[in-house]
Amino acid sequence: MSKWLTNVRLRLRALFKRRQLDRDLGDELRFHLAMREAKLRAAGLDEEEARYASRRRFGNRWSLQEACREMWTFVWLEDLWQDVHYALRGMRKNPGFTAVVVVTLALGIGASTAVFSVVDPLLFRRLPYPKDEQLVSVGYMGPVDNNEFNVTSSYFDWRQGPFKSLTAMRPGVGCDVTIGDAPRRINCYAVGADFLETFGVAPVLGRDFSAEDDRPHTPMVGLLSYGLWQRSFGGDAKALGKTLIVDD
């Protein structure tokens, strides 16, 4: 591990001191080339022949220097820095084009983020209910309505089917609610008595709906959402049993 860290430190140091590295590599290669020339002259070749022979045997000095640099630096990081530097220099020379690119990227990223924020909870995240993998939505699609719906006879037939629990709801509609002397507009949902039970959740405070609440001509019973309870009653337990006037 220590050897690996040492190697990384050396490569990073070489990356930030590239000019010094190039000079050192150049000096090292010229030294070896000079030593080879000296050996060839000592073997009887004249100066000109020794120079050509040493370079021919030594190979391309620039290729060797580049190979040595790759061993001592992170080549991909160095190339990335050069690309970024070139791009920034080009953008500085063309401010109009740069503005168009930045705006285009901003719009693209914003649109992608918006789409992902919608798709993420629908397709990727799990539903916040126990055994959410067992929850399904069933119903018919109307020829002129994209909303899923069902009819009474099928609903009661399906309740006798293989489902562990089957419940129904009417989509939220705007309704006027009077709390004390303050009227407000909220979303109201009509649900079956076993609605929360089907989802495996229970009220934070008070009782759930019962089968008796589903019978005709029984007193109207409602459950407050947690948000409405906090906003309108301050989370006070005394909200239980109060009468709310909904749509007169």
pLDDT tens-digit map of 199-247? 999 999 989 999 899 888 888 888 999 998 998 888 888 888 888 888 8
Is 41 part of any domain? yes
Q: 177 in helix, strand or coil?
A: strand
- Which residues constitute the domain of residue 215? 134-246
Is 111 part of any domain? no
**138 and 207 housed in the same domain:** yes
DSSP state of 160: T
pTM: 0.49
Is 94 part of any domain? no
Per residue in 162-186, pLDDT (tens digit) is: 888 989 888 778 888 887 777 889 8
Total number of domains in the chain: 2
Q: For residue 89, give both structure tokens.
A: 């220099």
Per residue in 25-71, pLDDT (tens digit) is: 667 777 777 777 777 777 777 777 777 777 777 666 666 666 666 65
Q: For residue 116, give both structure tokens.
A: 């992902």
Distance CA 78, CA 82 (A): 6
Q: For residue 47, give both structure tokens.
A: 């100066």
* Strand-pair partners of 186: 175
142-153 average pLDDT score:
72
Count of other CB atoms within 10 angstroms of residue 54: 20
127-133 average pLDDT score:
84
Q: What average pLDDT is seen over the chain? A: 78
Is 101 part of any domain? no
Lowest mean pLDDT among 88-97, 136-145, 165-174: 136-145
